[in-house]
Amino acid sequence: MNFPIYLDNNATTPCDPRVIDAMLPYFTSKFGNAASRNHPFGWVAEEAVDYAREQVAKLIGADAKEIIFTSGATEADNLAIKGVFEMYAQKGNHIITAVTEHKAVLDACHHIEKLGAKVTYLPVNNEGLINLEELENTITDATILVAIMYANNEVGTIQNMKAISAICKKKGTLLFSDATQAVGKIPVDVNADGIDLMAFSAHKMYGPKGVGALYVRRKNPRVKVTAQMDGGGHERGMRSGTLNVPGIVGFGTAAEICRLDMEADTARISKLRDKLETALCKIEESYVNGCVSSRLPHVSNISFKYVEGEGLMMGFNKNIAVSSGSACTSASLEPSYVLKALGLGDDLAHSSLRFGLGRFTTEEEVDYTIEAVSKTVLKLREVSPLWEMFKEGMDINAIEWAHH
């Protein structure tokens, strides 16, 4: 077993060796610019990009022409939200999203609010699901976009996309989904799911960092977004800039492997996740966060009451890599806004760990993690005055803390 053990696959995944093999020639002998149309170096690169575009499209049931390559899901989120806001300004200025969205979506929404957009942030229930009736009642004639993530990055909750898209269709508004955590892990089909725009990224599916895609529907309805990056008109005019050919090739290969191996991967990984979760839930006062009946197969977010998450991680972080929220906001000591939106108090939100398993996680690593985490929780509780009070039957919530 190699240490440290990596259980933070929601933050990023390692590159699959097959992905690296596919990429290597495009750094060296096949180094052409895909936009150089007048010599073989450019043609070879363009051909590779076309093939990757097909591979990526096939994973989500789209047409290759509907894939716009970007630098990642953050850029794709921005292109979708800002691009729709500008393109459909004639129709309206109202956008609906949810409080548990990724920061890239929330911050893009905050940005367009300054430009005159009206944004509604829907709450979620204690499982992280939006209320469909509330969504329907919030859509007005001015609503141009509903932006709801496919699956949450912190707790793994999967939204009911088919039901959400049915509402959007009925009301005549576009549906955008940040599907970064879902694509490659669970079956995602833009037509079956009724999604009009969708963002996802290579580095969450065993591909390279720095490359992602925005799916933009071409018919029924034909969707257009205003470019946020101007230049030579690459990517059907929606995203200029020399294409990251090696990255795109890696993205394509990663997508193909996910499409072919998804079922087998999911069966193995979810079994390991369930083993981990069942064992850790034997620790008293531990709670699984999110929606157990509708969630990603590789994620488990658990709160261990009366233990502080950061302290817990310090107990084993030389040997096990996990996180207490999302990588994007991990520098702040604030408890996770996603967990707070699910109704967790600060204490539970602070005491949570997110375990993200992956293609390369082994049973041995899971066994080691169960033991290490259990030991650390018990050790920290031994020295916790709160735990002692709880064991003596005191109502912790009723304690009056002295303020100096």
Catalytic residues: 328
Distance of alpha carbon 42 from alpha carbon 44, whole angstroms: 5
Tokens of 21: 């093999």
| Helix ranges (DSSP H) in 172-244 | 190-193
**What value, to the nearest 5°, has the Cα angle with vertex 277 and ends 271 and 280?**
140
Decide: helix, strand or coil at residue 262. helix
The number of CA neighbours under 13 Å toward the Cβ of 247 is: 17
What are φ and ψ of residue 397, in 5° steps? -65, -20
Distance of alpha carbon 54 from alpha carbon 52, whole angstroms: 5
Distance of alpha carbon 99 from alpha carbon 77, whole angstroms: 15
CB atoms near residue 295 (< 10 Å): 24
Q: Evaluate whether 178 touches 105 at the Cβ level (below 8 Å).
A: yes
Q: How far is CA 280 from the centre of its chain?
A: 24
Q: Of 225, 224, 217, which Cα lies nearest the Cα of 194?
A: 217
Q: Is the dihedral of CA 358, 364, 365, 371 positive or negative?
A: positive
| Helix ranges (DSSP H) in 10-159 | 17-23, 40-59, 73-87, 103-114, 132-138
User: What is the chain's length?
Assistant: 404
